[in-house]
Amino acid sequence: MTIKSEMRFFPSLLSNRHYSGTVATLLYNWPIFAGLLFFGIVALTVSYLAPGPWGWLFVASGAGALGLIASILTASFFVYDWGRQHEYDRLAQLGKLTQANVVIDISCGKLRGTRGLLPNFQGGHYFLIDIYDAQKMTDAALRRARELEPPLQTERRIYQRPGKATNLPLPHNWADVIYCNFSLHELQDAADREALFGEFARVLKPGGRLLIAEHGRDWLNFAAFGPGAFSFFSPATWQKHIHKAGLAIQHHERWRGLVHLWVAERQPH
């Protein structure tokens, strides 16, 4: 069936290729930004009243809070929206998407990556599998994302199905490409991640390709996103899951310093 959903706030902003990633970061995490802004303003105001070194402490705290806002939004624009090519275009290129007939898009409700990949895939069958689990995926930003995400507008017919990390509603040896764009880190349970990668190996055809874009829990992401980097996993985590599922990494690169891109392949038996 064609994807349909109720129109939400800011549909044009979240659907625009040129700044949707930055806008999404701001909207989905607005309570954090509001808290940082409030704290920064209060701290800078109090610094004028505090004596001696206390004043400088408040200045540093307030400037740090406002600086973190600027850092997160600048990094978001740089990694998601800047330039003509985006991470989904690069994955389409690396994964030879034009040669695929069946593409599986694994999502938790955010559709930016889907909107980006679809123009690179003109034919064949496109399945969007939503693995969101409200009991396990308790992140408030993800819930807001699902509420705010506008409907997917596309001229072509694609198919949407609910799924579970432990059981994708798809046949064996069927998909040419499985695509995961910033969705896998929502699985905080290692057993769920391991089960999902096992499902990837089951669903992919021999020679089928798994395409992944994920941030890393490293000093660059911490410098850009502050404590938010702790919601990501290390590159070694994803490499471990890929290898344990019996898939072979064909390519790995860092996209603009902050995102890891992988192409893994199911080997012919």
Span 66-70, average pLDDT: 97
Alpha-carbon 203 to chain mean position: 22
Rounded CA Rg of the chain: 20
Model confidence at 10, pLDDT cuts 50, 70, 90, reads low
| Full domain range(s) for residue 198 | 87-266
Residue 255 within a domain: yes
Domain end (from 81, 110, 130): 81
The pLDDT of residue 6 is above 70: no
Model pLDDT, residue 222: 96
Same domain membership, residue 95 and residue 68: no
Residue 129 within a domain: yes
DSSP one-letter string for the chain = --------SSHHHHH-TTTHHHHHHHHHTHHHHHHHHHHHHHHHHHHTTS-HHHHHHHHHHHHHHHHHHHHHHHHHIIIIISSS--HHHHHHHHTTGGG-SEEEEEESS--HHHHHHGGG--SSEEEEEE---TTT---HHHHHHHHHPPPP--SS--EEEE-BTTB-SS-TT-EEEEEEES-GGG---HHHHHHHHHHHHHHEEEEEEEEEEEEBSSHHHHHHHGGGGGGSB-HHHHHHHHHHTTEEEEEEEEETTTEEEEEEEEPP-
Residue 36 within a domain: yes
Domain end (from 34, 61, 81): 81
Residue 6 within a domain: no
Residue 5 within a domain: no
Same domain membership, residue 98 and residue 53: no
Structure-block tokens of residue 15: 């659907």
Residue 2 within a domain: no
Same domain membership, residue 92 and residue 71: no
Q: Could you give phi then psi for residue 132, rounded to 5 degrees?
A: -60, 135
Same domain membership, residue 226 and residue 118: yes
pLDDT in tens, 174-224: 999 999 999 999 999 999 999 999 999 999 999 999 999 999 999 999 999
Same domain membership, residue 160 and residue 255: yes
pLDDT in tens, 212-267: 999 999 999 999 999 999 999 999 999 999 999 999 999 999 999 999 999 999 98
Same domain membership, residue 61 and residue 91: no
Model pLDDT, residue 17: 80
Span 124-130, average pLDDT: 96
Q: Give the CATH number of the domain where residue 210 resides.
A: 3.40.50.150
The pLDDT of residue 93 is above 70: yes
Distance CA 188, CA 106 (A): 16
Model pLDDT, residue 150: 85
Domain end (from 63, 81, 99): 81
Domain count, the chain: 2
Same domain membership, residue 225 and residue 116: yes
Same domain membership, residue 97 and residue 62: no
Model pLDDT, residue 156: 79
Same domain membership, residue 24 and residue 156: no
pLDDT in tens, 131-160: 999 999 999 999 999 999 888 877 778 999
Same domain membership, residue 100 and residue 74: no
Residue 257 within a domain: yes
Neighbouring C-beta atoms of residue 92, cutoff 10 Å: 24
Return mean pLDDT, the chain. Answer: 93
Residue 241 within a domain: yes
